Structure 1
Amino acid sequence: MKPKIREVIVVEGRYDKNALSQVVDAVILETGGFSVFNDREKLAFLRRLAQSRGLVLLTDSDGAGFVIRNYLKGALPRDRVKQAYIPDVPGKERRKRRGGKEGKLGVEGMEPRVLLDALRRSGATFEEGGEEPKGPPITKADLYAAGLAGGTDSREKRLALLKRLELPEHLTANGLLEALNLLMSREEFLRAMDSSTE
């Protein structure tokens, strides 16, 4: 069974996310590489997650990884972000024809043991029995009932909610569902929906 981590882990790209998701049970988000520099909505979402759950930054050990890490260190609340570092290991990932400029393996090329060690050293919260149950999750049916999916004006309602919660406007109904379950309980969601219709 994979160890469960409470914080949201932030990595550079999808291959890093794939490698890490085979090692730990955690919410893992991608920065999209350097695109995070111009994505204010993603940054606002990361700030919200940092406040509610805490973040662990896990970028490659090359120069590009440190540029992304340093940008996020300056943009996110320092007391809510933990830093996980992988060692400099020469080589290239199997899927690539050529290695990176600096000839180092990235997160995706690390062995599971190395990734776990990096997370432990960062102070990530490993949960023994999983999280405290926070009640039933918010479901797709809840989104339909709130008019956020499936209706003629559901897109407008969804955009208004995304704006109110400072979430990216390009989130689909499924993406919204995932984000809501990270940020609040079902009870809090239902209360928020009741108060917005009053």
Structure 2
Amino acid sequence: MKLRLSLPVIVEGRYDRIKLDSLLDTLIITTEGFGLFNDPEKREYIKKVCRDGVIVATDSDGAGNMIRAHLRGLLPPESIINVYIPQVKGKEKRKSAPSAEGFLGVEGTDAKTLYELFLPYAGGQIKRCTLDRGRLYSLGLSGGENSAEKRAQLCRIAGLPQNITAKALWQAIETTYDAQGAEELLKRFAEGCE
């Protein structure tokens, strides 16, 4: 059964859209990779359609991060919910070689994982926890020595891309976990650091 979402979803390409269209009942918009950067009509369309909120699900690589950054320049940052695809090494079936960074994208991620990533946003009810950003600092995840390595460790535990910023990690935890799930995640991380 498809998940009904009240917000549109933005992905990079048509094969990503095809994959998600089999799982989600919502408008799915493609950026055509970096094509969005040079397409004023598409940018205006996204501003209009996504003004009340959007879920962004780009690949978990450098290109995906650039597209997310571009979208943050188009839309109010508070209207964007980022869904992060786990960084799994591999190659999409239709491609002859892996991506530049060697990770599967939206298209290559299994349906069960994608379904679970979008499940918190089904039915218009978005589960969010409130996480004090100072908590990330106190755990050494931002603004300190080796904080990038510590973030990467937490991201591995959470199944998030290991190259995200402290702010992106904070947003991902707030929009992906309820309060209990966030506490369990941070506890697992803290226990692993001792």
Residue deviations 1:158-192 (CA, integer Å, cap 9, x gap)? xxxxxxxxxxxxxxxxxxxxxxxxxxxxxxxxxxx
Amino acid at match of 1:62: D
Partner in structure 1 of residue 183 of structure 2: none
SS in 1 for 2:96: coil
Question: Quick one: distance in 2 between partners of 1:70 and 1:6?
Answer: 23
Question: Quick one: distance in 1 between partners of 2:85 and 2:108?
Answer: 10
Question: Quick one: distance in 2 between partners of 1:51 and 1:69?
Answer: 16
TM-score, reference length from structure 1? 0.59
Q: CA deviation at 1:116?
A: 2.1
Structure with the greater alpha carbon radius of gyration: 1
Question: Quick one: distance in 2 between partners of 1:50 and 1:78?
Answer: 11
Partner in structure 1 of residue 123 of structure 2: 127
Return 5+ residue gaps in structure 1 as ranges. 129-198
Q: CA deviation at 1:18?
A: 0.5
Q: CA deviation at 1:86?
A: 0.6
TM alignment of 1:73-112, pairs within 5 A: 73-112=72-111
Partner in structure 2 of residue 65 of structure 1: 64
SS in 2 for 1:10: strand
TM-score, reference length from structure 2? 0.61
Which runs of 4 or more aligned residues in structure 1 lie more than 4 Å from their structure 2 counterparts after TM superposition? Answer: none
Q: CA deviation at 1:117?
A: 2.5
Kept after mapping to 2: 8 A contact 1:47/1:77: no
Identical pairs, percent: 40
Return 5+ residue gaps in structure 2 as ranges. 125-194
Tell me the C-alpha RMSD between the 2 structures. Answer: 1.4
Residue deviations 1:20-40 (CA, integer Å, cap 9, x gap)? 111111110100110101112
Kept after mapping to 2: 8 A contact 1:50/1:77: no
SS in 1 for 2:51: helix
Partner in structure 2 of residue 19 of structure 1: 19
Residue deviations 1:126-170 (CA, integer Å, cap 9, x gap)? 128xxxxxxxxxxxxxxxxxxxxxxxxxxxxxxxxxxxxxxxxxx
Residue deviations 1:23-73 (CA, integer Å, cap 9, x gap)? 111110100110101112211111111224x21110000111111111111
Amino acid at match of 2:69: N
